[in-house]
Amino acid sequence: MTDEEKLNKHYDGSPEKTLITLEQLSQTIEVMTSVVNRLRQHLNEQLEKQNLIKQKELSSNSEDINNASEAQSKLQNERRAKTVIEISQQDSTLPRKTEKVIH
């Protein structure tokens, strides 16, 4: 049997077979539509979760930067407060070198 004969035989079927085939196709389309809708919903949920994670990371990074700069300024202030400067006078009793004058 050639391909053309198979096609013609398929279309020569009874109207009941055609209705059954159409009903099966309709059900298949409904199931596929449902699957596509569930996939869309799942992908949307994943995108929302990813966006939330990114926002949390960005906010925590900015907080870390703020905390680091605050900690650094506190450390600098502590260093300034702990720094002791000692100024002493030289003893004037130390013998000075005699100045030589060259003529």
Average pLDDT for 2-8: 66
Phi, psi values for residue 89, rounded to 5°: -90, 150
Amino acid in the structure at residue 103: H
3-state DSSP call for residue 81? helix
DSSP string, 5-38: HHHHHHHTS-HHHHHHHHHHHHHHHHHHHHHHHH
* Residue whose pair of structure tokens reads 């260093």 in the numeric block: 79
Higher pLDDT pick, 14 / 41: 41
Give the pLDDT of residue 64: 72
How far apart are the C-alpha atoms of 65 and 13, rounded to whole Å? 75
Least confident of 30-39, 49-58, 86-95: 86-95
What integer pLDDT is reported at residue 10 of this predicted model? 57
pLDDT of residue 38: 95
Tens digits of per-residue pLDDT, 67-102? 777 778 777 777 776 666 666 666 655 555 666 666
Domain definitions of the chain by residue range: 3-80
